[in-house]
Every structure is written in structure tokens, then in C-alpha cells.
């Protein structure tokens, strides 16, 4: 029986990462990462043919340890794919985000992601057919919404990092793909409930007071993770996958807003939504 190819996925405890394990555990040996032992135990029971490692993207030593364990699992075999899925969102007005907020946002979404690439790259090069890297970005890497400056900045960084990596990898044969989801039903935003308390007494108090309601509304109308199944399948299995997969309810409109509508117009539309006190404004 042919050995399964190995894929390494960061951040599989819930949301998109969890779905990736479900979708691909039959076709591949999935090695997924989580941040705590209780989640690791739960997933091991649910997916007995997959392997789960503890990894914290904010700690270089933790990343290095996880990839050393991956190398042992591979036992000289090549790694087929690295999927950089893990990420967090640190919302709030830029004028009031402290250096710890920025450090947490970028260590997880950008620096940790880059470290995973560095450790995975030689493992991806081992195969006769070179492996592939799939980075999970966001439409917030195309269009930056207010009060999501740190998150948007990290996702814009992932856009630039992925473009450079893809062009560098033309010389090595590794395929590089970027997935750009719109709002997806995950717990990334619910973890930010209670944001209003942090910005009481600031110029933004009136808006941040509505943050919980906005988050609840966005989660209720967000896409199910299943909408991403096709693009991840193609990114993993296609001989020539696309460089980018924008997954959004209105992808054409998203591209128009990001690339063609003058910024004065988009700024006016955003301000109008907030001044009208509408809570259906999407954060990503």
C-alpha cells in the first residue's frame, strides 16, 4: 500500500484549520498544530490517523521543536505541503493599540508564518516533485477596514510575503498559493467580544460600544467554511494551481473596491455606514 503524502497545517483546533483536517485526513497524513494539550487530546480521539503537535507561533523555540518532530515523522520522506492557516485578529483603533497588541498580531500572523516557511522549505525540496506552500490570507489584505488596522496590516504583509516567495520559488519548483477568504464562520472574532471596555473614554467609544453587536451580526451572515473546500482541494491537488483564490460572496465587487474605486469614494462609503449606525458592516 502506497504511503500517504504528508501535509503540515498550522492552527487546526477550530474553524478553517479543523475543516482542513476533516477534508484531507483520508488522502494525506495530516500533521496539525494546536496550542494546548486538551485540544490535542480531543483531536487525537476524533482523528486517530492524524498527528497533532503543540506549537505556539509567538515562540520561535516552539516552532523549531514542532518542525523537528515533523522531520522525525517524515523519516527522510519529503513534505508534500505546508498550509499556514493559524492566525489571530487584534481589533481596535490604531491610535490606542499598544506595542504588545502589535507584537502579538505580527508574531502570529507574519513572523511565525515566515518561521514555518523557513523550517518547512528544505523538507518541501526533498521530493522529486517539489512540494507546495499554501498561505491563508484574507480580503483584509486587499481592503483595510477601520478598527482592524493591525489585522489588515498583517494580512497585507502576508500578501507581499507570498508574492515574493512565489517568485523566489520559481527557481526551486515549489508551488506557492494564497487563499483570500472573506468573512467565514469561525471563532476568530468572537474572541474579541467585550472590546468596548478597552476603549471607554476615548474618541471611539460610541463606535466600539457597538462592537459586540457588529461581531454577532457578521458571524451570523458569514460564509460556512465549506465554501473554501474547492479552493483548498485545487491548491493541494491541481498540477498548476492558481496563484490566488479569492473566496467571497461578492468576489467581483471586492476586486473593484480594492483596485479600481477611488479611495475617497470607499472612505465615504465606510464613514456613511458607521455614521448611519449600521451594524451590518463587515470587519473583513
The set of catalytic residues is 151
Q: Are 51 and 73 in contact (CB under 8 A)?
A: yes
Torsion, Cα 188 185 134 144, to 10 degrees, reads -60
Q: Which of 104, 106, 123, 122 is nearest to 114 (CA)?
A: 106
Q: Are 10 and 88 in contact (CB under 8 A)?
A: no
How far is Cα 5 from Cα 223, in angstroms, rounded to an integer?
30
Can you give the three-state secondary structure of the chain, one letter per residue?
A: CCCCCEEEECCCCCHHHHHHHHHHCCCCEEEEEECCHHHHHHHHHHCCCCEEEECCCCCHHHHHHHHHHHHHHHCCCCCCEEEECCCCCCCECHHHCCHHHHHHHHHHHHHHHHHHHHHHHHHHCCCCCCCEEEEECCHHHCCCCCCEHHHHHHHHHHHHHHHHHHHHHHHCCCEEEEEEECCECCCCCHHHCCHHHHHCCCCCHHHHCCHHHHHHHHHHHCECHHHHHHHHHHHHHCCCCCCEEEECCCHHHHHHHHHCCCHHHHHHHHHHHHHCCCCCCCCC
Q: Cell digits for 30?
A: 495530516
Amino acid at each position: 500500500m502506497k504511503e500517504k503524502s504528508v501535509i503540515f497545517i498550522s492552527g487546526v483546533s477550530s474553524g478553517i484549520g479543523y475543516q482542513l483536517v476533516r477534508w484531507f485526513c483520508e488522502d494525506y497524513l495530516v500533521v496539525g498544530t494546536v496550542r494546548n494539550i486538551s485540544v490535542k487530546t480531543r483531536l487525537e480521539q476524533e482523528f486517530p490517523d492524524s498527528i497533532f503537535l503543540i506549537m505556539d507561533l509567538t515562540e520561535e523555540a516552539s516552532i523549531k521543536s514542532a518542525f523537528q518532530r515533523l522531520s522525525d515523522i517524515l523519516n527522510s520522506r519529503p513534505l508534500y505541503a505546508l498550509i499556514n492557516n493559524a492566525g489571530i485578529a487584534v481589533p481596535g483603533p490604531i491610535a490606542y493599540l499598544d506595542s504588545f497588541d502589535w507584537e502579538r498580531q505580527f508574531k502570529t500572523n507574519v513572523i511565525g508564518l515566515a518561521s514555518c516557511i523557513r523550517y518547512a522549505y528544505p523538507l518541501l525540496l526533498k521530493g522529486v516533485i517539489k512540494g507546495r506552500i499554501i498561505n491563508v490570507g484574507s480580503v483584509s489584505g486587499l481592503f483595510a477596514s477601520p478598527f482592524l488596522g493591525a489585522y489588515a496590516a498583517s494580512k497585507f504583509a502576508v500578501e507581499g510575503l507570498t508574492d515574493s516567495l512565489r517568485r523566489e520559488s520559481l527557481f526551486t519548483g515549489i508551488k506557492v498559493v494564497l487563499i483570500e477568504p472573506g468573512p467565514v464562520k469561525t471563532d476568530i472574532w468572537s474572541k474579541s467580544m467585550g472590546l468596548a471596555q478597552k476603549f471607554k473614554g476615548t474618541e471611539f467609544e460610541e463606535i466600539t460600544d457597538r462592537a459586540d453587536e457588529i461581531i454577532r451580526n457578521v458571524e451570523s451572515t458569514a460564509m460556512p467554511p465549506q465554501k473554501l473546500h474547492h479552493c483548498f482541494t485545487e491548491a493541494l491537488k491541481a498540477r498548476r494551481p492558481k496563484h490566488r483564490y479569492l473566496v467571497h460572496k461578492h468576489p467581483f465587487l471586492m476586486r473593484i473596491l480594492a483596485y479600481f474605486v477611488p479611495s475617497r469614494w470607499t472612505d465615504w462609503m465606510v464613514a456613511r455606514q458607521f455614521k448611519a449606525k449600521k451594524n451590518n458592516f463587515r470587519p473583513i
